[in-house]
Amino acid sequence: MVKNIISGIKAYFGAFGLISKLKLWKYFAVPMLISFITFILIFGLAYNLSDNIGQFIAKIWIWNWGHETFTTISSFIGGLIVLVIGLILFKHIIMALSAPFMSPVSEKIEAHITGKTVHYHRNTTFSEQLWRGIRVNVRNLGMELLYTIPLLLLKLIPVVNIFSTFLLFLLQAYYAGFGNMDYTLERHFKYQESIKFVRKNRGLAIGNGIVFLLCLLIPVVGVILVLPLSVTAASTKTIQALNNNKPEHVV
């Protein structure tokens, strides 16, 4: 799996060049706008809520001694909870709403890599692509929150919280990569079959998602460019994986 993680990361190195070569930037205009607006709305709300959540957690400590220290810790945990949940919501919202715009990008990349302009796979409409994107990301959102909450609780335990932070990062990376890979998989597989394919190639998903998350750390520019780069990188590796594995396609 480590080899696939590295492969998923390395795919980003040629993303800019491929986007320019295939003249794909025009397809990213709406998704980049969606990404920027969603970021402002979610993290603006998160910033305003972090103190309230911290104060709510602080009420658990009913004793006078150590109350100030616990309040400080609670504020940090509250901010972390809001940040993590905000990041989860951000990536799933932009991936779901951008699905109809990302599918043509993935298809052009597939035509470039395979050399085939006619594809014998599933034909989907704009509305079907949007519904598929919403369905996949709502499912992934639920699964991610299910695993994230216990990992956040583990952060209250010294030493253990170091490992929980690492696992939390990998979890977020996996579902980010999952969403990016599905823009290609939706043409080849039905919903459940795509889930099985990503599980089988989870290293590629994690590698793609790691860079996706790191891009978000770059102010403004990262938020705008994260989809073009991550989708392009994911498409190239997903298409290669499809060709290498030669699974039974749905037509």
Q: What local confidence, expressed as pLDDT, does residue 68 receive?
A: 67
Q: Where are the domains of the chain?
A: 2-116+127-240
The stretches in the chain having pLDDT less than 50 are 120, 247-251
SS3 66: coil
Give the tokens for residue 179.
Answer: 């969403």
Q: What local confidence, expressed as pLDDT, does residue 248 receive?
A: 46
Average predicted confidence (pLDDT) for the chain: 84
Q: What local confidence, expressed as pLDDT, does residue 218 receive?
A: 87
Q: Is the pTM of this model over 0.85?
A: no
- How far is it, in rounded angstroms, from Cα 11 to Cα 208? 8
CB 190 within 8 A of CB 247: no
Q: What local confidence, expressed as pLDDT, does residue 45 receive?
A: 76
